[in-house]
Structure 1
Amino acid sequence: MSFGKEAAPLPPKSALWTSLLLFIPAFLAGLFFFNFIGLLLALPFFEWDINRLLMATASPSGNDRLGLLVMQGVIAVGSFLLVPAWFMARFDADKNLYQQTLAGIRQPTPPIFWLIAIGIVLFALPMIAWAVKWNEGWQFPAFLAEFEKWAQAKEADLKRLTLLLVDFQSVGELLLGIFVIAVIPGIGEEWLFRGFLQQRFQQLFGNPHVAVWVAAIIFSAFHLQFYGFVPRTILGAVFGYLFIFTGNLAVPMLAHFFNNAYTVLLMYAYNQKWIAFNIEDSPEIPVVMAAASALLVGGTLAWLRQLKN
């Protein structure tokens, strides 16, 4: 979708809906395929023992870190970047969307936009931290008790896996971790959720705000962390507005990378005992501070929109 320029005529909405529905099995097939490729490429780290590798995916230990990082990186590159880009270029009803997205990435972007994107991620930290604490406190009615148990168990499993993956024992492991946890998701997830889904929802609904929030909700739900659903949705929406207000997918890619890399580096610094603050400990954020953070983010996004215009 072109921003700030006359867009090419769109195919009928029925064709756009059909493409979106066809993308779902294509994405799932790609996810399955790249899971298989990831397993194969991770095997050397497990001395070619497939049973040990499968056990590591269910109950990982520190010795499994490198293999799991490699596997995660392969799955993310294939599923989030290659599959959506391949589908958009070859099979999508709107053949212009792929080329326009690439053209937007290649267009010259004022350096101030990059600084604003990083600043917005930093400004959003109190708001996100407050949302994390609020979301963690959710309780469900009795008839959803089984779902609550599943969500809590899933959250605990993912937290254990995250802590293991970022417990880097060398600078080399740290650099690999930043590449897998920050660079690849920053590029791949933004291409999928903002570059394809958000733009498609804007074509279908004709409302950029609806497109931003629908894509953000799907982005959050895909991570299967219910107790982080709200803050991740907010963050996804921030990335979505960065895309809309700049027309350049590289801007939310940078913001996404910075957000993840900032977290990884803080966790590494804590593990190395360079700092006493553990980012995994959700701090109590006053509502006033969270509200000020939200206003600052909103105001900065509005300023960015004015700069673009």
Structure 2
Amino acid sequence: MRLSRPLRPTDENLHPALVLMLLVLLVVGGMCVGFFVAMMLVGAVYGLDALMRVTTIIAAPQNSPEGWGILMLMQGVPLLFGFGGGALLVPVVRGLKPGPYFQPRQPVPAFWLVAAMVLIIVSIPAMSVLIAWNANLHLPPALYGWEKAARLYEDQAQVLTTFLTKFNTFSRFLVALLVVAVIPAIAEELTFRGVVLRQFARWTGSVHWGVWLSAAVFSAIHVQFFGFFPRLLLGVVLGYLFAWSGNIRVSMAAHFAQNGFQLLLLYLQQRGTIAFDADGNEALPWTWASVSLLITAGLLYWLYQQRFQPEVAPLEAHTLTSHGVEVRRADAEAAPPVAGHTLTSHGIETPTPDQPRA
């Protein structure tokens, strides 16, 4: 992977499991700081009385005029400080620069950002089929009690989501766009694609395992079993967009398009501009889904063809081993013909004996 500076042997010499543990600690610490900052903002914006009643307000936000704004603060700020700040601190704590760590390809061509956003939007009809299937999924009779509890939990969460996405003013829509689309796109992509994917790829020696495992963690952490598989697939698409483009901004743009377009549809529906149920789990017509699937597959293939091809420095190669990333000079003793794993912008490649290392 070509970075803006030479990769030192110590850059990735910490075991991936330890990096992930460090990430968890930093995210939890960031969440604690974020909750404190959010509480201070509640007091500053809504007054001391609202701050003293914040627990009651959060439990039933629809019963307080300040409920919507306070809930948005309590969701957005901890997410930004926790997942966003925590992920950014992972390279900083290890003495690395966040820019090259998350964006080895600088700058990224503009078409990547546009294509990533278009890809997510045109995939929605095809994705609706998977959403409908997952929402109506039934578990074996032996797990009926768990299924009932999971549906009850998700129904309660949906009530809160419905409350947060009621836009009686345009300013509310803009606030929701910031909290529900912009902040998650930044914070979650830094965490799940920028750190988790990278470390799983190092750990397993495969970018594909890195993409799928990070997508599974991404979906599971949302604690929504009856939406697990659509979010898993979304995580996979975001993972490959990051791996192929070599820049975290691309997956951020796609993530923003996913959440932002959903909010826009809800806003237009509530204004009576469209009759489409943007919050439903019904599958769109098969003709729409089929066309959507074909266009989505075509765009993915085209983006794969445009993937980042790193230029290789002539004097050294960066080989990922169990001890981390080692630098091997071109004039060093030739390595045995056993395949090694070379970290590139689109993952970890295994060169064949007759193929030079990247």
**Among residues 86, 89, 92, which one is paired with 1:86 in the alignment?**
89
User: Given that residues 42 and 70 in structure 2 are in contact (C-alpha distance below 8 angstroms), is that contact kept between their aligned partners in structure 1?
Assistant: yes
Q: Gaps spanning 5+ residues in structure 1: where?
A: none
**In the alignment, which residue of structure 2 is the partner of 1:125?**
124
Structure 1 pair 157–42 and aligned structure 2 pair: CA distance change class (3 A): farther
Matches within 5 A, 1:150-299: 150-285=149-284, 290=289, 293-299=292-298
Q: Once structures 1 and 2 are overlaid, which stretch shifts more, 20-29 or 261-270?
A: 20-29
Structure 1 pair 8–245 and aligned structure 2 pair: CA distance change class (3 A): farther
Alpha-carbon distance, 1:19 to partner: 2.3
Letter in 1 for 2:207: P
**Among residues 63, 75, 80, which one is paired with 2:78 in the alignment?**
75
For 1:170 and 1:12, locate their aligned partners in 2 and report how far apart those are by CA, in whole Å.
48
For 1:2 and 1:224, locate their aligned partners in 2 and report how far apart those are by CA, in whole Å.
36
User: Given that residues 194 and 240 in structure 1 are in contact (C-alpha distance below 8 angstroms), is that contact kept between their aligned partners in structure 2?
Assistant: yes
For 1:104 and 1:257, locate their aligned partners in 2 and report how far apart those are by CA, in whole Å.
21
For 2:169 and 2:12, locate their aligned partners in 1 and report how far apart those are by CA, in whole Å.
54
Structure 1 pair 22–108 and aligned structure 2 pair: CA distance change class (3 A): closer
Tell me the C-alpha RMSD between the 2 structures: 2.6
Name the structure with the higher strand share: 2
Q: Once structures 1 and 2 are overlaid, which stretch shifts more, 134-143 or 245-254?
A: 134-143
Alpha-carbon distance, 1:141 to partner: 2.4
For 1:3 and 1:145, locate their aligned partners in 2 and report how far apart those are by CA, in whole Å.
51
For 2:271 and 2:249, locate their aligned partners in 1 and report how far apart those are by CA, in whole Å.
32
Alpha-carbon distance, 1:201 to partner: 1.0
Structure 1 pair 255–271 and aligned structure 2 pair: CA distance change class (3 A): same
**In the alignment, which residue of structure 2 is the partner of 1:104?**
104
> Is 1:114 matched with 2:118?
no
Alpha-carbon distance, 1:215 to partner: 0.7
Letter in 2 for 1:177: A
1:168 match: secondary structure? coil
User: Given that residues 30 and 86 in structure 2 are in contact (C-alpha distance below 8 angstroms), is that contact kept between their aligned partners in structure 1?
Assistant: yes
Q: Which digits, 9 at most, give the CA deviation of each residue in 1:3-59, with x for residues without a partner?
A: 899855466776332222233233223323323432332244375334632123223
Q: Which digits, 9 at most, give the CA deviation of each residue in 1:72-125, with x for residues without a partner?
A: 11111101111111132114xxx54734234437x1222221221122102211
Q: Which digits, 9 at most, give the CA deviation of each residue in 1:258-278, with x for residues without a partner?
A: 111111111011111121112
1:33 match: secondary structure? helix
For 1:226 and 1:119, locate their aligned partners in 2 and report how far apart those are by CA, in whole Å.
27
Fraction of identical pairs, as percent: 30
**In the alignment, which residue of structure 1 is the partner of 2:68?**
65
Structure 1 pair 13–204 and aligned structure 2 pair: CA distance change class (3 A): farther
For 1:124 and 1:4, locate their aligned partners in 2 and report how far apart those are by CA, in whole Å.
34
Structure 1 pair 149–30 and aligned structure 2 pair: CA distance change class (3 A): farther
Structure 1 pair 231–27 and aligned structure 2 pair: CA distance change class (3 A): same
Alpha-carbon distance, 1:146 to partner: 3.0
User: Given that residues 2 and 100 in structure 1 are in contact (C-alpha distance below 8 angstroms), is that contact kept between their aligned partners in structure 2?
Assistant: no
- Structure of greater Rg: 2
Name the structure with the higher helix share: 1
User: Given that residues 126 and 293 in structure 2 are in contact (C-alpha distance below 8 angstroms), is that contact kept between their aligned partners in structure 1?
Assistant: yes
Report the TM-score when normalising by structure 2.
0.77
Structure 1 pair 6–252 and aligned structure 2 pair: CA distance change class (3 A): same
**In the alignment, which residue of structure 2 is the partner of 1:35?**
35
> Is 1:55 matched with 2:56?
yes
For 2:301 and 2:72, locate their aligned partners in 1 and report how far apart those are by CA, in whole Å.
38
Matches within 5 A, 1:7-18: 8-9=8-9, 15-18=15-18
2:61 match: secondary structure? coil
Number of positions where the alignment pairs a residue of Structure 1 with one of Structure 2: 305
Letter in 2 for 1:136: A
Report the TM-score when normalising by structure 1.
0.88
For 1:10 and 1:303, locate their aligned partners in 2 and report how far apart those are by CA, in whole Å.
36
For 1:292 and 1:135, locate their aligned partners in 2 and report how far apart those are by CA, in whole Å.
21
Q: Once structures 1 and 2 are overlaid, which stretch shifts more, 271-280 or 48-57?
A: 48-57
Q: Once structures 1 and 2 are overlaid, which stretch shifts more, 170-179 or 145-154?
A: 145-154
Q: Which digits, 9 at most, give the CA deviation of each residue in 1:185-242, with x for residues without a partner?
A: 1111111110111111111112111111111111111111111111111111111111
User: Given that residues 73 and 180 in structure 1 are in contact (C-alpha distance below 8 angstroms), is that contact kept between their aligned partners in structure 2?
Assistant: yes
